[in-house]
Amino acid sequence: MSEKYFYHSLLFSVESIVFGLLAILLLQYYRGLGRQYVKYWMLSLFALSIHQLSLAIDALLVEVSITAIEKVILSCFIQFSLYFHLVALLFGLYCATKNKNISKQVIYYAFVFCGLLSVTATLLYGFELNEVYNRFYLRESLPAFMMGCGLLMAVFFLYNSSVDHFSARIFMGYCLFMGLRYILFSFLSIVLITEYWFKELTEILIFMDMGAFTLLAFLMLIWMQGAERSIAITAINKAQYLGKHDPLTGALNREQVMEKLPIIIEEAEHKRQTLAVFLLDMKRFKFVNDTYGLKVGDLILGEIASRLDGSIFLPQVIGRLSGDSFVFVIDAADKKQQAAAIEHLHGLIRRPYHIKQHKVLLQCSIGYCLYPEDGVLAEDLLQKANLALAQAESQNVATVKYKTGMQSHGRRLLAMEKEIRDGFDKNEFVLYFQPQLNLLTNRLEGFEALVRWQHPERGLLQPASFLPDIESLNLFSELDSYVLEKACQAIARWQQQYRRKVTVAVNITAVEFQDPLLIENIQTLLYKYEIPPRCLELEITENIVMTEIDTAMNTIVVLQNMGIKVSIDDFGTGYSSLAYLRKLPIDKIKIDRSFIEEVASNDSDLTIVKSMVELSHGLGKRVLAEGVETEEQLRLLRNIGCDAVQGYFISKPLPEEALKKYLTRK
């Protein structure tokens, strides 16, 4: 054997060992970090190692006569391992840049393609030993062409990818250089195959390729190092981002808002801009969480943040201050712009949310103030916007702008909150009971429980003087639960003392009626005080029913099935229609006092009340007239067929001690 071939064979063997070792190194790396691209590159190096080994054997056998079959098999190996090396290299690049995995099917097809190509090419020349040209084309030019195309494809791919670490650029340079080298070679080989110098060049290229492959293996290692560093940097950035942003919505969190707002204010001062600081609070978001689950609630909050973020008003700050409240700051020079922004924000929130097959509708309350008109400090502006928001929420208005004086109202409310909570704890709230008279039987129909506050300093307070504060402070739920419990206690007491099962009607507010826990609470109370459900009646206003008709309907049906009656309070003052009420399984309609007041002196009021009674009866509902103060009113109501009455003429609301005569007399 000539020295040259032996020398080649030795070099190929050394290379084969080096690539094999590097493949093992990558395997360890893949096992440790589990990155997919490392797996493909490991396979690529492994294929290269096989390729070099086949070349080493091939060089050894150049001058040894072996059978055609053996030659074909060896050539097949040489080609297949080279194609496989290329494909695995490209797969690795794809995974590394796209961060996606490659489907098993694609891998399978690529494998089959490499196999078919190498087998076909080898068979075409393998048995035709005299066809020197074909042999050269199929053995050298074709693989070079495939390698060139593959590497240039990689260049194109890397160029368009978003990976920008330094090693990616070196890699691209390598692929470009080698890609061009292969393509050029494949074309030149067809034209210059007979030239002597070309033969010399081919010899030199063998050594150059050895160096290039080795370089490639090291480039892979450098890439991996660069990629890991950039992953670490991304992770650090993400951690920093999360520290500053609300992880749920990506909006700024409270601290960041407090950091950023002063900067925006300073800029606005320089540019003499007016800033509008909007605070948005989602109405009844708790209801969304309770109904659709926290996960849906979270997704909706994320969606809100991204809608705000994409706003055409180009917000300077978007933050989530707490649960369902967001801050939105824009540069809004004049009133017209502010009004447009308000409308825009309401529209943004009102657009339906389609989350996991649910279509959720939301509304928000907005409170806002202006820089520099209402304040120049970030903290001050947020506080003032918050006061405006509190007012918007308590008065159920969509938007409120901050006005001077709101602050003192806010302070008063704060003091009030403590007093009211103390009042609950110390049982300062007491129930008065107003009898309801059944006009058919002339007997007691039941009592309406009406709350009073026995204030330690201010004496007995009527609901009108404290209910607005309770509403502003969102304490209605607490009040209703308190009254429900006191009413149940009273029913139980009378049951024991007088052996009478008296019905007590309790006023329930909208908030409480929409609370999914209401039914559970009532069941617990009935069980705890051992009272029959028919002794409890709930009074709700028509507006409760109308704003959330489906929920209200469900709740009323459940209550009715439990045996608890529901009546509509203050009928005629809200915005419902009897046609709607027909669908609801309610028991009684309570005509508001304002209609009864002049029923005796005003013909049109009498006509209205009369038609209300007839219509209600037509729908199968009973009718109670509220605020009956005179005998004349009572007579008229009796004549037009009213079922029951309640009012000062029968009795004012009385404390429990004064009820004895009603409870002892049948």
- With H, G, I as helix, E, B as strand and everything else as coil, classify residue 338: helix
What's the closest the beta carbon of residue 285 comes to Mg ion, in angstroms?
28
Residue 639 contacts which entry, ligand C2E, Mg ion, none (Cβ below 5-8 A, type-dependent): none
Choose between 47 and 624: whose C-beta lies nearer to Mg ion. 624
Extract the tokens encoding 199.
């033969």
Task: State whether the Cα torsion 511-517-523-527 is positive or negative.
Answer: negative
The pattern of x and - marking residues 580 through 619 that bind ligand C2E according to CB under 6 A reads -------------x--------------------------
Extract the tokens encoding 634.
């009572």
- Number of residues engaging Mg ion in binding (CB under 5 A): 5
Angstrom distance (rounded) from CA 616 to CA 111: 81
Site membership for ligand C2E, residue 465 (CB under 6 A): no
Site membership for Mg ion, residue 646 (CB under 5 A): no
DSSP for residue 101 = P
Of 464, 499, 579, 657, the one binding ligand C2E (CB under 6 A) is 464
Which of 255, 244, 356, 352 has the alpha carbon at shortest distance from 298?
Answer: 356
Angle between helices 378-394 and 254-271 (to 10 degrees): 110
Using CB under 6 A, which of the segments 81-89, 159-167, 330-338, 623-631 binds ligand C2E?
A: 623-631
Q: What are the strands of the beta sheet with 275-282, ordered from one edge?
A: 317-322, 325-331, 275-282, 364-371, 399-401
Extract the tokens encoding 273.
């801009």
Of 9, 325, 434, 472, the one binding ligand C2E (CB under 6 A) is 434
DSSP for residue 134 = H
Which of 228, 102, 249 has the alpha carbon at shortest distance from 168?
Answer: 228
What's the closest the beta carbon of residue 454 comes to ligand C2E, in angstroms?
14
For residues 411 and 305, the answer to whether their CB atoms sit within 8 Å is: no
What's the closest the beta carbon of residue 590 comes to ligand C2E, in angstroms?
7
Site membership for ligand C2E, residue 570 (CB under 6 A): yes
Using CB under 5 A, which of the segments 40-48, 166-174, 539-547, 553-561 binds Mg ion?
A: 539-547
Angstrom distance (rounded) from CA 637 to CA 78: 107
Choose between 175 and 589: whose C-beta lies nearer to ligand C2E. 589
Of 288, 388, 450, 568, the one binding ligand C2E (CB under 6 A) is 450
Site membership for ligand C2E, residue 315 (CB under 6 A): no
Site membership for ligand C2E, residue 629 (CB under 6 A): yes
Site membership for ligand C2E, residue 484 (CB under 6 A): no
By DSSP bridging, strand 565-571 and strand 588-591 are parallel
Give exposure, 585-612, as e/b (b: 16+ Cβ within 10 Å). ebbbbbbbbebbbebbeeeebbeebbeb
The residues in 549-588 that bind Mg ion, with binding defined as CB under 5 A, are 569-570
Of 225, 237, 462, 639, the one binding ligand C2E (CB under 6 A) is 462
Choose between 463 and 533: whose C-beta lies nearer to ligand C2E. 463
Site membership for ligand C2E, residue 569 (CB under 6 A): yes
Q: Which residues bind ligand C2E (CB under 6 A)?
A: 434, 449-451, 462-464, 467, 479-480, 483, 507, 509, 539, 569-570, 593, 626-629, 646-648, 653
Q: Which residues bind Mg ion (CB under 5 A)?
A: 507, 539, 569-570, 626
